[in-house]
Amino acid sequence: MAVTATSEDDGFSLITDKVSYNLTASDVTIVTSSNRRIPAHSGILASASPVLMNIMKKTVRRYQRYGASRAIKILGVPCDAVSVFIRFLYSFSLTEDELEKYGIHLLALSHVYMVANLKQRCSRGIVDGLTAENVVDVLQLARLCDAPDVCLKSMRLIQSQFKTVEQTEGWKFLQEHDPVLELDILQFIDDSESRKKRRRRHKKEQNLYMQLSEAMECIEHICTQGCTLVGPTNIVDVNKSTTVPFGGKSKPCKAVSTCYGLQLSIRHFAVCKKRSNENGCLRCKRMLQLLRLHSSICDQPESCRVPLCRQFKKRVEHDKRMGEDTKWKLLVRRVVSAKLCLHCVSRQRRTNVMEKQND
């Protein structure tokens, strides 16, 4: 689509139609810092930049009054950077060498004159060229030019190489002249470390819930299917009124290490004499907690073969404080969620295996 500039009552307007614009006669001059003059065409510049359009609209009558050609000053950046900028407005082309050499200047020009496609390309190029030496300067410019992608990448680089960055001249200059930005950077680093700690803590908690869920399945497997790795044994309940046999025919268990550890704990629990002492046995206490956890999850206590399941259910009904333990309820909910996740993962694996076999 061709673009042409015409003079109307408002002094300047654009017409976009099939009429081709005459590129042989320039009607505007770009003036750089070293007084270099670059001839250009108002229609092309206005179509690429709304800011240049407004500038030419405001100045056209003034220049027409004196019979002179319009001039637009672009100062504060190297002359070659202005030339690259003007050429981009014409052809939308930019080489890698030009981007590497004038990327920061072009980012500033693209922000001032609202050239979105150039700003995107400069942002990507500057991010690729970030180093510990220039990251502070780039961050300051990116904040002024409203380039959030460049700001975020710069912040992350400063965080990852902070010891190197704080030795640079840019960081020392920042400490003296921009304490607000320094505070923002330190706050970002502190927040990032806090998020990392929370993620690590959350991951450890999830692993714990997965292990507890696996232990619950192993307990049910041991009691219902008679899986044994350490030989048959008996467990007497807390009141010594019933005896529950563990062990029997050996059957495979998916979580062999967990199952083996549980059966050793069960065997110890059955014969430990310190279980009823005031101080008690730490190993037996952990086994009781696992049995209580199973009882809290179990929805069929009448037919459940896991020892002490019904006893714990009845104890919760009579002991209100035990039933209102919020931390324990939270633990039960997390373990149930982990158990559901394990079932979903195992089901998906079985589906994938069946699909591969069918193929």
How does pLDDT run along the chain (359 residues), one tens digit per residue?
A: 333 333 333 333 333 333 334 445 778 889 998 889 999 888 889 899 999 988 887 765 555 554 446 788 999 999 999 999 999 999 899 999 999 999 999 999 999 999 999 999 999 999 999 999 999 999 999 999 999 999 999 999 999 999 999 999 999 999 999 999 999 999 999 999 999 999 999 888 888 888 888 888 888 777 766 544 444 444 444 333 444 444 444 455 677 778 888 888 888 887 887 776 656 788 888 888 888 888 888 888 777 878 788 888 888 777 766 656 788 888 888 888 887 777 777 677 777 777 777 76
Give the residue ranges of DSSP H helices in the chain.
42-48, 50-66, 79-91, 96-112, 116-128, 135-144, 148-160, 162-165, 169-177, 179-225, 256-271, 282-297, 309-318, 320-323, 326-358
Q: Are 130 and 122 in contact (CB under 8 A)?
A: no
* Coil, helix or strand at residue 87: helix
Residue 344's CB is within 10 A of a number of other CB atoms, namely: 10
Q: Are 171 and 165 in contact (CB under 8 A)?
A: yes
Q: Which residues contact 144 (CB under 8 A, 6 or more apart)?
A: 108, 111
What angle in degrees, to the nearest 10, is found between the helix axes of 309-318 and 282-297? 80
List 246's β-bridge partners, or say none: 233
Token look-up 């919760």 returns 316
Amino acid at 307: P
Quote the radius of gyration of the chain (alpha carbons, Å).
37
Measured distance CA(68)–CA(47) in Å, rounded: 23
Q: Which two tokens stand for residue 108?
A: 């500033």
Report which DSSP code applies to 21: P
- Among the listed residues 232, 278, 231, 229, the one whose alpha carbon sits nearest the alpha carbon of residue 258: 229
- Among the listed residues 115, 111, 109, 40, the one whose alpha carbon sits nearest the alpha carbon of residue 81: 109
Q: Which two tokens stand for residue 341?
A: 């996740």
